[in-house]
Amino acid sequence: MGRPPCCDKIGIKKGPWTPEEDIILVSYIQEHGPGNWRSVPTNTGLMRCSKSCRLRWTNYLRPGIKRGNFTSHEEGMIIHLQALLGNKWAAIASYLPQRTDNDIKNYWNTHLKKKLKKFQTDLDSHNLAPPSDNSSTNNYDHQFSWQFSDNNKQGSTTLFNSPNASSTSSLYASSTENISRLLEGWMRTSPNPSRRNVTSDRHDDDEMLHEAQKTNQDQEFVKNCEKSWIQDGGNIGNNIVTIPKEKSTTCESNGVDVGEKTSPPPFTYLEKWLLDENNGGQVEELMELPMIFT
DNA sequence: AAAACTTGCAACCGCGTTCTT
DNA sequence: AAAGAACGCGGTTGCAAGTTT
């Protein structure tokens, strides 16, 4: 069915935001807080649709956004989370509070996807067959585990190197950053300040609590998945790293709905974690990338 | 030097979900 | 309960900057 686009009205401005528009938007949100986007264009005089205002705020103007290079740590997080959750960029972004979903999505599409593809191609071109090992639970699992361990063995460091300095940090990007800095110190109090700002007045306290609990569960789940994997020293062993070739994987074992577009992945790795009773403990250092990603 | 091509990212669009009346 | 409006998300596009020929 669908609705007509919200920006079809005559006189609605499209395209890049100017610093003046940003200042107007930021000033307004400073005063009224994010949310109720429909009233923003009316009250500010901005010739933008409400959607555009929300997007601009969420992706660029809200405080605490980190721009520029992704660290290898972040790369690893994205790779793992994408494998676990599929293209759920908002969900992935909730684990990287300084990054926006749009940023992560772009980075995945422009950098990480290529790296993974190249990784596959390189291995295929070498015509390397996984060693036979019945302990592996399925071919898919074993193929990936073997590929990664082989890559480690060869000491390959080229595939997942972080990109060099961002080539397109424009002058205006800097000014956006400055606007963002103006807002440092101003943030609405939140039960979890590190969490991605869901800018909706719909979130009352109960909802926030529920969300926080849910997020904690998800985070715990992912952290433990990470732990299990890294405990194998990046060598993975009988476990898998569910790096999809094209389709994303799901994580329904955790009750995370990842939609219908995903193909069912092998769950050996997740199942192993779920069956593992000793999966608590330290996590911070576990989120660091294995050598292959550095 | 300049045209052609590639890359990266900001912004838009369409649709599903949630809320309001 | 139903319909309409608003929100939020993921996919896609347009274009500027960078690179290659």
What digits encode the pLDDT tens for the residues A254-270? 333 333 333 333 334 43
Is the CB of residue A110 inside 7 Å of nucleic acid strand B? Answer: yes
Nucleotide nearest to A68 (CA to C1'): B9
Model pLDDT for residues A110-134, shown as the tens digit of each residue: 888 888 777 777 777 665 544 433 3
- Alpha-helical regions (H) of chain A: 19-32, 39-44, 50-56, 72-85, 89-93, 101-107, 113-125, 139-153, 171-182, 205-231, 268-275
Model pLDDT for residues A211-228, shown as the tens digit of each residue: 444 444 444 544 544 444
pLDDT at A127: 57
Count Cβ atoms within 10 A of the Cβ of residue A282 and give its class: 0-12 exposed, 13-18 middle, 19 or more buried.
exposed
The Cα–Cα gap between A67 and A103 comes to: 9
Which protein residue's Cα is closest to nucleotide C6 at C1'?
Answer: A38
The Cα–Cα gap between A42 and A50 comes to: 9
pTM, entire model: 0.59
How far, CA to CA in Å, does A220 sit from each of A97, A252, A282? 16, 15, 11
Binned at pLDDT 50, 70 and 90, residue A170 comes out as very low
Evaluate whether A226 touches A127 at the Cβ level (below 8 Å): no
Whether the pLDDT of residue A59 is over 80: the answer is yes
Is the CB of residue A157 inside 7 Å of nucleic acid strand B? Answer: no
